[in-house]
Structure 1
Amino acid sequence: MKIPALRALISAIDEGSLRAAARRIGVSQPALTKMIRELEQELAAPLLVRSTTGVTPTAQGKVLYERAGLALRELAGAAQEIGQLGGRMSGQLRIGAVPLAVMLLVPETLRTFSREFDGVHLQINEELYIEQLMNLRRGDVDIALGPIPDRLPPGEFHVEVLMPVSMVVVARRGSVHASA
């Protein structure tokens, strides 16, 4: 499998259109179609369902989409690490954060991190923590900021406590909900 063909498939699925995917990766639509057809022939499986409204992945296409995305992120990470070993602190750090972390931790982090590592682009996604864990497992984010969920499988993630957080329920004095 060729990396440009994997990028073509990912773009087609992300965009839902061969024309938009071709524009996104900077090739002609016939060239993109040819790359995807070669992948389908190599795997002996259909990867996309084509219709007048665009393209959608087949079950096989979804499998390759997930694995190809992970492989491309791993290769990009390897290139970043190699550059860092040569003294260049550059690349991208993708952070998933719950809204509370975005309000409390991210502003100061942005100021200090950007000063120290100006060649590293930070991408911050704000979502609920369960979604962030799924993104972390898939490799869509590098770091997740949020609460530690109950029954987190031991050893799956490296966890570092940044701050204790206590959440409380507050009701006004005399409220019927005060003892709820």
Structure 2
Amino acid sequence: MLNLIWLKSLITLIEQQSFQAAANALGIAQPTITQHIQKLEEMLSVPLIQRGRTGCQPTESALRLLPYAESMLRLHDRALAAVQKPNVKVGASSNIGIYLLQPCLQDYFSHQPTALKNLDLVIEANPNIVEKLENAEIDIALTEWWSPKAGFESLEWKTESLVMIVPVGHPLAKLKTISKSMLAGLELIGGESGSGTGRLLKQYLQGFKQMPTITMQLGSTEAVKQAVRAGLGISLVFASAVVDEVKHGSLCAIPLEGDALKKSIQLVWRQDPFITNKRPDFVEYLLHSKN
């Protein structure tokens, strides 16, 4: 079994690039760091550190191990916190965390001021949030897609409409709605990867030979909005993500015909094996405040 103390020494050594500097950072003797690395290398049967004139550099094997080592140490800290100071850690995909969840948090904290110290929020890409939930790095997740898994409960929190955003003055800005056939032939700027929009489009446009073409893939809805505003293309985003831009006239948002494209926002939490028929307090709050 991998030793967390050895892994911490490896991570610190990679950061400091020197055995002595790593020892100083951890408050231990330099030979102890050397021993930890040697034991890890013996256990894994691969070299982890290359020594050179410019300092210590991680091998390819060490770089492959690094994200797992960091995750194991984070989980260690979470396990201690769960026993000593049980904070609730909530994770949300970027679109949900930025555009949908903030007003709920403001209301939640206004009614429960003490909860402000006991609830942490993590906002990352949807796949990262799912992974953190599965790895027990967060307790509750709000995701744009979720595949049911043993040990977890999930419910729909709310649905969110997708709209087409175009620059002011764009030919499509004159339309009241975008039809299914028109959508199938458009070129779109892609936003955050792993958000499930591609799956939704394939399902919606099932039967069409043509699918929208993705011209570029940007990392966030904020980046997409700036690109559309700059005239680089058009895109599909949450309606709630462009409320201010539409209000101030910097972007045009066109609904899909019949408000046809909606995302189901999933609220997911880990089941407590010792407590049945009781949901976490924050889950109960979100379910009662979803409208």
Where relative contact order (Cα < 8 A, 6+ residues apart) is larger, the structure is 2
User: Do 1:40 and 1:46's aligned partners in 2 also have CA atoms closer than 8 Å?
Assistant: yes
In structure 2, the partner of 1:36 is 37
Contiguous gaps of at least 5 residues in structure 1: 84-88
Q: Which amino acid aligns with 1:56?
A: P
1:155 equivalent to 2:149? Answer: yes
- Give the C-alpha shift of residue 62 in structure 1: 4.4
Give the TM-score normalised by the residue count of structure 2: 0.44
In structure 1, the partner of 2:118 is 120
1:102 equivalent to 2:98? Answer: yes
Deviations 1:20-49 (A, max 9, x none): 644543445554333212322344321233
Pair 143,58 (structure 1): closer, same or farther in 2 beyond 3 Å: farther
Secondary structure at 2:57 match in 1: strand
For 1:65 and 1:21, locate their aligned partners in 2 and report how far apart those are by CA, in whole Å: 16
Q: Which amino acid aligns with 1:38?
A: K
Q: Which amino acid aligns with 2:148?
A: P
Pair 110,140 (structure 1): closer, same or farther in 2 beyond 3 Å: farther
For 2:40 and 2:104, locate their aligned partners in 1 and report how far apart those are by CA, in whole Å: 46
For 2:29 and 2:92, locate their aligned partners in 1 and report how far apart those are by CA, in whole Å: 34
In structure 1, the partner of 2:89 is 93
Pair 48,135 (structure 1): closer, same or farther in 2 beyond 3 Å: farther
Secondary structure at 1:163 match in 2: strand
Deviations 1:94-124 (A, max 9, x none): 6343144223313542673573445536252
In structure 1, the partner of 2:57 is 55
Q: What percentage of aligned pairs have identical amino acids?
A: 24
- Structure label with greater radius of gyration: 2
User: Do 2:4 and 2:72's aligned partners in 1 also have CA atoms closer than 8 Å?
Assistant: no
Secondary structure at 2:162 match in 1: coil
Give the TM-score normalised by the residue count of structure 1: 0.63
Pair 12,97 (structure 1): closer, same or farther in 2 beyond 3 Å: farther
Q: How many residues align?
A: 169
In structure 1, the partner of 2:230 is none
- Give the C-alpha shift of residue 155 in structure 1: 1.6
User: Do 1:48 and 1:58's aligned partners in 2 also have CA atoms closer than 8 Å?
Assistant: no
Q: Which amino acid aligns with 2:124?
A: E
User: Do 1:90 and 1:121's aligned partners in 2 also have CA atoms closer than 8 Å?
Assistant: no
User: Do 2:91 and 2:124's aligned partners in 1 also have CA atoms closer than 8 Å?
Assistant: no
Pair 155,121 (structure 1): closer, same or farther in 2 beyond 3 Å: closer
Pair 50,167 (structure 1): closer, same or farther in 2 beyond 3 Å: farther
User: Do 2:148 and 2:154's aligned partners in 1 also have CA atoms closer than 8 Å?
Assistant: no
Contiguous gaps of at least 5 residues in structure 2: 183-291
Q: Which structure dedicates a bigger proportion of its chain to strand?
A: 2
